[in-house]
Structure 1
């Protein structure tokens, strides 16, 4: 039962303050560790990108108190470290996701804030994991009951509450301080969905790093005694005025949401994964010749069509940059059919604008199907037909993939993905140390055991 004398953000904070890793199933703890390793690997793989180099340059200009570690070495203020590390894990768009009927988000985006806060607090690995699990629960459950995408706002809006609450948890703050951190972060970070519509900018990958930075900052501010709106959810012109009325009993929540999140198999927007799996299977069929493709027809669910297929969030055929390419289902299908893979290599500037992929992209037709839409988010149905110039047809149907919640990634799969992304920046011995430390985080006395390893990663490819 909820406490009628506590506001909704205070009830959420009571849940966060009481959260402990012992409440999680063994499966959930293992999947949480898998996501930590996956997030670190994706972050390492982005370190030499122009965007991360620009962020590192800015951080050097701004300075900082050296409280928290950057992946790739160096220290800075905790909020700037949260921004850098979240940007690293977000830039490739290769991280995890959570699918709610009216909202999709990426809970692992919160790890930059949680890691920085845990380091500032000299917390244990167990404390870090607990705070990270909290981020998953708050972020996903708000997205379940209070989606805002259809109202023109971005999924980082709910994430702001998760970032503030989880950073405050990692700092070891009490329930009232956690409530204030979440309220300040949530109130100040109501974000526009234009972030992900039309021609996409760098902000697509930086919107959540900004939220991670803010969550870290307001958690520190709450620790100084600063307060936020205590009726941020239910109050006059509060969050419910934006999201609509809903009920969420935080006293009934657990820490299992991580098991309902999914991990990307391909370096592509999350709703494309099953369609890309279908394309990979077609490409492997005998007689297939990508140079002779005359037509590509995809039937899929409405959310995929709306966000990346040319639906309500804009045409997806004017592709010039990585940010646009990894959110264009026509471009991604063309790249997969031509190259047989979709990894960071496909997002090299010259590959994005190459004549073959640009031409094939124009042959792709995408249609939403109501029956497929009804099966989402439990499934991600995709029905793909590729027709060659002589009329030969290839056909594949997929509704899940390795990494989907019905086919969860195991530790060996996570380690393989981690190695593929981190190998150019960290030798085998360092990768082994990082992976081993992550897998035993619940036994690690100080999170600095992990951050000190992350500081040894190179920011340039060997």
Structure 2
């Protein structure tokens, strides 16, 4: 779709509900008619409002896509047992294309170079445990601080220039006073403050202690977020962000980042991916289990029993 469904108020899990039954259907070895039924079942029953990630955020922010994926699995199971669903759930009367009429649907994009180019190669890994549009600003802020040896106490003002969409959803008033992890990791001011204060943004940047850290709150009051139409014109091919930090001495340092670490154009190394996994897994599974999961994941294509792999992921 052009623009994307997220840009017109729907969460991207709205599209997950059309994809997840196909993935589940492959796993269940459904035939073509059953696949169509599964997409119809899931696609006609689960739309996700963008409000799930707007304003003050809750646990539901983390659950939107999992529920859409669960819907696809249930739909595939129903189709396997002979349950039918609307066949023209995409292009038919009151289907997706007609109901979401404030975008231009381009189904030809899905068919272009089908079987030759695989869109999964354009997927990225998040280098930070935050909303995707915060990654370029975080990278730019870290670059400014590291290149100029700037500490939190040196900062007089921080200007973040980003897309209109990013400025809108990531820096509304609730994002300057986050009370929950879910709001904080979708708050552009908070993640920039955490990056400058601590030199990185990690899972524990959103602990109860960090949410009241006076160093972070002091920086929050010094941050301004500005939408830049020139950056909008580059989006989504380039997700540019610019961060300017003015020190108490009155010197301004600026960095611009087009491709954050973890994007296809600036991929994470295997070592960085492993470090990210361990940061998330610490306190959930033991170091020994982490090693087992890493080994199994790197040899995933040789695994014959998916159930055995899934059992390695059960928390201690």
Q: Same fold (TM over 0.5)?
A: yes
Determine the C-alpha separation between the residues in 2 that align with 1:155 and 1:251: 20
Cα–Cα, structure 1 residues 423 and 349, in superposed 2: closer, same or farther, change >3 Å? closer
Among 88, 97, 111, which residue is 1:240 paired with? 97
Q: Which residue of 2 aligns with 1:349?
A: 208
> Contact 1:168–1:181 at 8 Å: present in 2 too?
yes
Q: Which residue of 2 aligns with 1:301?
A: 163
User: How many positions carry a matched residue from both structures?
Assistant: 311
Q: Which residue of 2 aligns with 1:187?
A: 44
SS at match of 1:367: strand
Among 5, 8, 29, which residue is 1:172 paired with? 29
1:122-133 superposed matches below 5 A: none
1:54-133 superposed matches below 5 A: none
> Contact 1:145–1:248 at 8 Å: present in 2 too?
no
Determine the C-alpha separation between the residues in 1 that align with 2:24 and 2:3: 22
Cα–Cα, structure 1 residues 370 and 188, in superposed 2: closer, same or farther, change >3 Å? same
Q: What CA deviation, in whole Å up to 9, does each residue of 1:50-88 have, x standing for no partner?
A: xxxxxxxxxxxxxxxxxxxxxxxxxxxxxxxxxxxxxxx
SS at match of 1:189: coil
1:33-432 superposed matches below 5 A: 144=1, 147-244=4-101, 246-249=105-108, 252=112, 253-254=114-115, 256-310=118-172, 315-432=174-291
Q: TM-score, normalised by structure 2?
A: 0.91
SS at match of 2:63: helix
> Contact 1:299–1:369 at 8 Å: present in 2 too?
yes
Whether 2:305 is the aligned partner of 1:443: answer no
Cα–Cα, structure 1 residues 201 and 416, in superposed 2: closer, same or farther, change >3 Å? closer
Determine the C-alpha separation between the residues in 2 that align with 1:184 and 1:414: 36
Tell me how far 1:273 sits from its aligned partner.
0.7
Determine the C-alpha separation between the residues in 1 that align with 2:107 and 2:17: 17
Determine the C-alpha separation between the residues in 2 that align with 1:292 and 1:192: 41
Q: What CA deviation, in whole Å up to 9, does each residue of 1:223-244 have, x standing for no partner?
A: 1100111111111111112233
Cα RMSD after superposing both structures: 2.0
Q: TM-score, normalised by structure 1?
A: 0.63
> Contact 2:161–2:228 at 8 Å: present in 1 too?
yes
Q: What CA deviation, in whole Å up to 9, does each residue of 1:403-433 have, x standing for no partner?
A: 1111123433322322333243334443232
Determine the C-alpha separation between the residues in 1 that align with 2:134 and 2:144: 15
Cα–Cα, structure 1 residues 166 and 388, in superposed 2: closer, same or farther, change >3 Å? same
Determine the C-alpha separation between the residues in 2 that align with 1:280 and 1:307: 22
- After TM superposition, the runs of 4+ consecutive aligned structure 1 residues lying more than 3 A away are 249-252, 423-429
> Contact 2:152–2:215 at 8 Å: present in 1 too?
no
SS at match of 2:176: coil
Determine the C-alpha separation between the residues in 1 that align with 2:309 and 2:54: 37
Determine the C-alpha separation between the residues in 2 that align with 1:337 and 1:256: 37
> Contact 2:135–2:260 at 8 Å: present in 1 too?
yes
> Contact 2:127–2:268 at 8 Å: present in 1 too?
no
Runs of at least 5 residues in structure 2 that lack an aligned partner in the other structure: none
Runs of at least 5 residues in structure 1 that lack an aligned partner in the other structure: 1-143
Cα–Cα, structure 1 residues 289 and 408, in superposed 2: closer, same or farther, change >3 Å? closer
